[in-house]
Structure 1
Amino acid sequence: MQVLDEDTHGYHFHVMRRALDVIDAQGPSVSLDELASEMNMSPAHFQRVFSRWVGVSPKRYQQYLTLGHAKALLENRFTTLQTAHEAGLSGGGRLHDLFLRWEAMSPGDFARKGEGLTIYWGWFDSPFGPALVMGTDKGLCGIGFASECTEAEAMLDLQSRWPDASYIEALDRLAPWVRSAFGQTKGDVPLFMIGAPFQIKVWEALMRIPSGHVTTYSEIAEFIGHPKAVRAVGTAVGRNPISYLIPC
């Protein structure tokens, strides 16, 4: 007797589409047991099928949606308390934990987005092609490379990290630091790392890794005193804006 695979007939596809509709409609309040019951599955089976089709667990998918909604609210000048309420969270503490877990920064740090900062920028030649370098009066804060993207895309990537900062083109101001950074002259390269305290701890830990050595997110989490924050460490590493000077 031939056993037909339900997936070949789109069965699970349609079930997961219904599950996503339920999550979108009910937000983070709907539990795994409720979702599984509505899909006529056991919780364990539903979790396995959902993770296989969607790529993440139901809980993580709900967190992504909640985080995206919270970001949009903060960008529209909602307070953190209003944002927590509108996002369906029980309070500001839950919102704070959500941002620390997935963005490695607090909601307040996310909302400020470089407000009050003056960032100088310029394009320079580097060993990796055209480099967009940004810095403040205190040091370099961002480097982007245009060898595999357009200059406009590189600019957008860095500016999107601090969208409320003021930007001024100033090659002469940055040039001495840039020449030292790319090994063209000898000299100190001051860094002004703009980020949440947690992110800065991670970036400082990265700079302590000897050249030619490797490490893991979990080892970095242990080193900075947050052994359970492995995912947040990964996020902070990914958001390192000075990837040439701070190793990834």
Structure 2
Amino acid sequence: MSDQEHINYNRIAEAINYIQTNFKDQPNLDEVAEKVHLSPFHFQRLFTDWAGTSPKKFLQYTSIEYAKKLLKENKATLFETAHETGLSGTSRLHDLFMKIEGMTPAEYKNGGKNLSINYSFADSPFGNILVASTSIGICHISFVENKTQAFSILQNQFPNANFKQHLDLIQQNALFIFNHAWHKLNQIKLHLKGTDFQLKVWETLLKIPMGQLSTYGNIAKQIDNPNASRAVGTAIGDNPVAFLIPCHRVIQGTGKLGGYMWGTTRKTAIIGWEATKINIEQETDFIK
């Protein structure tokens, strides 16, 4: 690390510590920039390059994590939570939760109490899967080694939701992806919750054509955060929808496969399967 990089690292570390310590005061960009002796413009760019997100969004994530802790522990009302988090009122708390978590503060506090989730188990070319959906779209797909454990992981995401083992039309449309219907991927509705950064990464993954690969570095460049490869890797690892959001198509810049939540053997098999299907399709088109 060069001397300048070391200085920049220390500045961003100081800024992160300041935000985490003073988030209840909701410091603005100018205040934090002044603490690390940079202009607001230079600080904004430097922080985004090093942290993978803007100072404002980092403050939002810090605030909401604290609010989630209060709500989960059931130690405060929504009004008290907003006040303790440094927000001006429950409306700002509501907006923050909807933007980052995809649900209202009350829904989070109730663990998805009013949310109805259908789920089912199905076979795929790569083993059993658990697929779950709300009235909006697919909210979860995972490869399954143990059905009880897989369902428990789903329940932990929405501890108070109403679960029903039922294969609905939304799930059926999603499962067609394994039967040569990948061209209809844009017709499959998803119900995702995540940070702006995570959603941006997952959206970028959806643009990787079937049968092709990308790298963590390329994904970082596509979301205009070229130095955020590690943050991209973390967001990819948090992908809640296996296969449909094709995190298996992302490899290391060296050409190595890299990790995969559901095992590198399965990742290798999926990549090979997709390449084969594309080759067969191209050969068929050529014959026609």
Instruction: Name the TM tier (shorter chain).
Output: 0.5 to 0.7
The DSSP-based 3-state class of the residue aligned with 2:141 is strand
Q: Is the 8 A contact 1:144 1:155 kept in 2?
A: no
Q: Report the counterpart of residue 193 of structure 2 in structure 1.
A: none
Q: Report the counterpart of residue 157 of structure 2 in structure 1.
A: 161
1:166-197 deviations in Å (ceiling 9; x for gaps):
778x7xxx4798996757xxxxxxxxxxxxxx
Residues 1:65 and 2:38 aligned together: no
Q: Report the counterpart of residue 14 of structure 1 in structure 2.
A: 10
Gaps of 5+ in 2: 177-182, 191-195, 204-237, 246-288
- Number of positions where the alignment pairs a residue of Structure 1 with one of Structure 2: 196
Residues 1:86 and 2:104 aligned together: no
Of 7, 19, 23, the residue aligned with 1:23 is 19
Percent identity for Structure 1 against Structure 2: 32
The DSSP-based 3-state class of the residue aligned with 2:34 is helix
Of 93, 97, 100, the residue aligned with 1:99 is 97
How far, CA to CA, are the matches of 1:37 and 1:245 in structure 2? 44
Q: Is the 8 A contact 1:129 1:145 kept in 2?
A: no
How far, CA to CA, are the matches of 2:9 and 2:71 in structure 1? 34
How far, CA to CA, are the matches of 1:120 and 1:212 in structure 2? 20
1:68-122 deviations in Å (ceiling 9; x for gaps):
1111111112321111011111110110111111122211122222437897866
How far, CA to CA, are the matches of 1:162 and 1:240 in structure 2? 16
Read off the aligned partner of 1:96 and give its amino acid letter.
Answer: H
Structure 2 counterparts to residues 152-191 of structure 1, below 5 A: 154-165=150-161, 174=166
Q: Report the counterpart of residue 184 of structure 2 in structure 1.
A: 211
Q: Report the counterpart of residue 75 of structure 1 in structure 2.
A: 72
Residues 1:42 and 2:15 aligned together: no
1:82–1:154 distance in 2 versus 1, CA, 3 Å: same
1:150–1:35 distance in 2 versus 1, CA, 3 Å: farther
- CA displacement at 1:61 relative to structure 2: 0.6
RMSD: 4.6
The DSSP-based 3-state class of the residue aligned with 1:93 is helix
Moved more, 29-38 or 88-97: 29-38
Q: Is the 8 A contact 1:74 1:83 kept in 2?
A: yes
Q: Is the 8 A contact 2:97 2:105 kept in 1?
A: yes
Read off the aligned partner of 2:13 and give its amino acid letter.
Answer: R
Q: Is the 8 A contact 1:142 1:242 kept in 2?
A: yes
TM-score, with structure 1 as normaliser: 0.59
How far, CA to CA, are the matches of 2:169 and 2:31 in structure 1? 57
The DSSP-based 3-state class of the residue aligned with 1:160 is helix
Q: Report the counterpart of residue 203 of structure 1 in structure 2.
A: none
Structure exhibiting the larger radius of gyration computed from Cα positions: 1
The DSSP-based 3-state class of the residue aligned with 1:164 is coil
Moved more, 101-110 or 58-67: 101-110
